Every structure is written in C-alpha cells, then in structure tokens.
Structure 1
C-alpha cells in the first residue's frame, strides 16, 4: 500500500493532518484496496506560515481537503482497522526525507493507541508499488524516489 498525506504544517501536533490516502497492494503488485479520508484540524493546532502561503495559492485544493472532514480519532481508528483487515504483516514503506510517516505514526499512536504495521521499509528498497492517486491539482508527480508505501506481506 502506498500512502500520501496533506498537512497544514511540518510536524504533527502543532499542525494537522488534513488528508490521508493509502492504497494496499499484494506481494504480486495487484491492488487490494484504498483508504481515503479528510480529517478535521486538531484542537488548538495552527496552520504553519509556509503552509498557509502554499495553500493560499491552491484554494480549490484546500477546499477538497476540507470536504467531508471527519474527527481525527475516528479516522485513525478506521485506518488502523483497515490495515488490520489486510492480514499478513504489513510493512510501512517510508521516505525519510518526507514527513508522511511521522504524521501517520503520531495520529495512530495518539488516537488509535497503536502502530498496526510490522515494521518500516525504506522507499528505495521497493520498486513494486505505485503511489496512490492524489485528487489535488497541486500534487506533484511522485517518482520512484518519492514513494510512501505499505505492503501486505
């Protein structure tokens, strides 16, 4: 499964996870399923000035991240249950240069109380999976060196 997020700042807690998109793939590279959710902002969190400047230039994208946003706790628990339902020993593939795994880890620990993955795999170690489709026009194309994935092993 590949994972892609949108946030309103560089770190979770002071800033919020806005969108979580994950696509699960089997060992053969065939899609198993997709999880997509927009999350409400954390109470007391603020938009980072750099993120605010970026989102100002992408008003339509910002509105897409706010459409049907759900409470973070509901999303984190639904996501953890979805990962559990994949079976096997899912691995979360990370790109250390991107904050995606930090946000996902923080939200899962804070709201679901657990990390449902068997481990982390560096993105450069996998070439089988493609990134999940991003519905926002401001998303840049993701290449092999910019993947965030989870594999149901």
Structure 2
C-alpha cells in the first residue's frame, strides 16, 4: 500500500486576548493547501469573562452573539478534530500557521484542554510560514512577514480579512505558492 501524502492544513484563529485560558479563541479556520474544496470553520463560545477590547475588535465578531449562539469550546474542537481526522483517508495532516506560535498555541491548548489530545500530535508541532520562508530564501526575520512573501510571489490579490476561515484559505494559497516556488528552484 502506498504511503499517503502529507496534507498541509493552514490554520488561522481569532482570539479576544493574547493567550489561551485567561482569554478565548473565538473562531477557527482550516484550509487544506492545494485543495480549496477542503475547508473548516467554526466560531466558539468564549470560555472566560476576560477579553481585550482591541483584540476582540480585530475579528469584528460580536462577543454577546458568540456567548448566545456559538458552540461551546468542547463541541467546536470535537468538530474540528473529527474533520481533521476524516482527512486521514486521503493524507497525513500537518499543522501550518503563520505565525505558528500564536495560532498553534491556541489550537494546541484548546485541543488538549477540551479533548485531552490533539489530532496534530501531543507536541502540537507544525510548520511556521515565516520560518519556512527564511530557510528557503535565506532572508532575515524582518523580511519574512506574510505581506512580504505575498508581494515577492506576486499574490497581491489575496486579502487578509481577519475572518479565520478566509485567512486560513489565504494562508493555504500563500503556502501553495511558496511550495511551487521551491519546486521551480530545484
């Protein structure tokens, strides 16, 4: 039996503060690189009364509506894990974010806290777009921002909206272009 290919899952979160626990992940988007038909999006009910108004404002989500209508974190994360695990029939899911530190911190913490395990492994390890770009191009950190990567790859028509689903799709398209660029250099 042939080994299944890696599936890079571009992940984006919106949160109402800088760290999970005291603050909440309020939306989660996932898009499979190279497969625009494979996406996942959910909003989440806040888990804490604390929030940073400026952080909440970035997403444009209404906290009161989320408290009334969004699924509880355990339900949202179970749906995300089920969707990710369902992809295992076609490939091996690999976490991808930009930056992986922020998005990965929330996603890993939420999976561990509400499900007891992460579909991305116990370590929560994954690919960081900026680090990958630095390794591929030899640039410095300051030149590895996603906006610069998009500019260098002529992806100027990809907006960054601060909607987790849309931004996950944006990241998937950026990483697909990065991989294509790497292949052309080989």
Cα deviations by residue, 1:112-132 (Å, 9 ceiling, x for unpaired): 1111125412214379xx989
Aligned length: 133
8 Å CA contact 2:159–2:170 kept in 1: the answer is no
Q: Look up the SS of the partner of 1:70 in the other structure.
A: coil
Q: Which TM-score applies when normalising by structure 1?
A: 0.68
SS of equivalent to 2:21:
coil
Quick one: structure 1 residues 77 and 132, their matched pair in 2 at CA, closer, same or farther if it must change by over 3 Å? farther
Per the alignment, residue 23 of structure 1 pairs with 31
- Larger RCO, structure (CA 8 Å, separation 6 or more): 1
CA distance in 2, matches of 1:73, 1:102: 17
| Alpha-carbon distance in 2 for matches of 1:115, 1:97 | 15
| 2:121 matches 1:115 | no
Of 11, 28, 32, which residue of structure 2 is paired with 1:3? 11
The CA deviation string for residues 47-78 of structure 1, in whole angstroms up to 9 with x for no partner, is 025425xx2xx6x9222873841100001111
Q: What SS does the aligned partner of 2:18 have?
A: coil
Gaps of 5+ in 2: 1-8, 134-148, 150-154, 177-186
- Distance apart, 1:104 and its partner CA: 0.4
Shift of 1:17: 0.5
User: By how many angstroms is 1:86 displaced?
Assistant: 0.5
Q: What SS does the corresponding residue of 1:86 show, helix, strand or coil?
A: helix
Q: Would you say the 8 A contact 2:44–2:70 is kept in 1?
A: yes
Runs of 4+ in 1 over 3 A off after TM superposition: 94-98, 130-136
Structure with bigger gyration radius: 2
Runs of 5+ unmatched residues, structure 1: none
Please give the root-mean-square deviation of Cα atoms over the aligned residues, in Å.
3.7
Matched residues in 2 for 1:133 and 1:33: separation? Answer: 19
> For residue 46 of structure 2, what is the aligned residue in structure 1?
41
The CA distance in 2 between the partners of 1:23 and 1:132, in whole Å, is: 15
CA 84–18 in structure 1, closer or farther in 2 if over 3 Å, else same: same
One of 99, 102, 115 as aligned partner of 1:99: 102
